[in-house]
């Protein structure tokens, strides 16, 4: 999966947080274990907290399912992890992130940015990603978690902001609760 000349950078912005430790890192580990993502994928945690990869690993540990036979693969997963400390509004921090991705990957590194962050920083972060961190060759994708605004006005504002920076096919929006009620109703009907 994936050619040798291209690599992948999965960047978790807000890597010090709750969603990252409970859901994102555990999912990336399972996908990696099952060879469902290319071997030449590198994972970059990014947040303001002063942390090391070992500390991120320690935080995630209670949520990681690792059997004895998976140990080697688990070590390999963490060997492909990096951590970059930076703020959400400082351009030079995003330049450092870009530089780090450039050093680890191949010239053609596809980049996926996952915003595991409070919505208050979505606009600043996405502006800085656009300004400093787009893939030089290859594709860039941005994943945003709910909530997409708190009312129609703020939602439209965020949508317009994102549309000014990215093509629609570069954006993914995740809302775990969309459709939840409908699914619950279906279960009731059954």
Ligand X SMILES: NC(=O)c1ccc[n+]([C@@H]2O[C@H](COP(=O)([O-])OP(=O)(O)OC[C@H]3O[C@@H](n4cnc5c(N)ncnc54)[C@H](OP(=O)(O)O)[C@@H]3O)[C@@H](O)[C@H]2O)c1
Q: Which residues of this protein are in contact with ligand X, per CB under 6 A?
A: 14, 16-20, 22-23, 47-49, 88, 116-121, 145-146, 176
Residue 20 vs 60, nearer CB to ligand X:
20
Strands 140-145 and 171-174, bridge-based pairing: parallel
Residue 6 vs 64, nearer CB to ligand X:
64
Tokens describing residue 102? 């450039």
In angstroms, give the least distance from the CB of 99 to ligand X: 19
Is the four-CA dihedral 105, 99, 34, 68 of positive or negative sign? Answer: positive
Strands 108-115 and 6-13, bridge-based pairing: parallel
In angstroms, give the least distance from the CB of 72 to ligand X: 30
Rounded Cα gap, residues 115 and 144, in angstroms: 5
In angstroms, give the least distance from the CB of 69 to ligand X: 29
Residue 136 vs 157, nearer CB to ligand X:
157
Residue 40 vs 55, nearer CB to ligand X:
55
Rounded Cα gap, residues 46 and 65, in angstroms: 23
Return the DSSP state at 148. Answer: S
In angstroms, give the least distance from the CB of 90 to ligand X: 12
């Amino acid at each position: 999966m994936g050619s040798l000349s291209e690599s992948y950078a999965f960047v978790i912005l807000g890597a010090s947080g709750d969603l990252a430790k409970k859901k994102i890192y555990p999912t990336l580990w399972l996908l990696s274990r099952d060879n469902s993502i290319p071997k030449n994928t590198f994972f970059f945690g990014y947040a303001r907290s002063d942390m090391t990869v070992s500390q991120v690993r320690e935080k995630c540990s209670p949520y990681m399912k690792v059997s004895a036979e998976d140990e080697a693969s688990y070590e390999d997963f963490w060997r492909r992890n990096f951590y970059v400390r930076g703020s959400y509004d400082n351009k030079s921090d995003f330049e450092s992130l870009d530089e780090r991705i450039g050093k680890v990957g191949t010239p053609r590194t596809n980049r996926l940015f996952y915003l595991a962050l409070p919505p208050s920083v979505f606009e600043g972060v996405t502006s800085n990603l656009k300004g400093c961190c787009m893939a030089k060759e290859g594709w860039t994708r941005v994943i945003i978690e709910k909530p997409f605004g708190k009312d129609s006005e703020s939602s439209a504002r965020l949508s317009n902001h994102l549309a000014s920076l990215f093509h629609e096919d570069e954006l993914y929006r995740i809302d775990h609760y969309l459709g939840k009620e409908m699914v619950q109703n279906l279960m009731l009907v059954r």
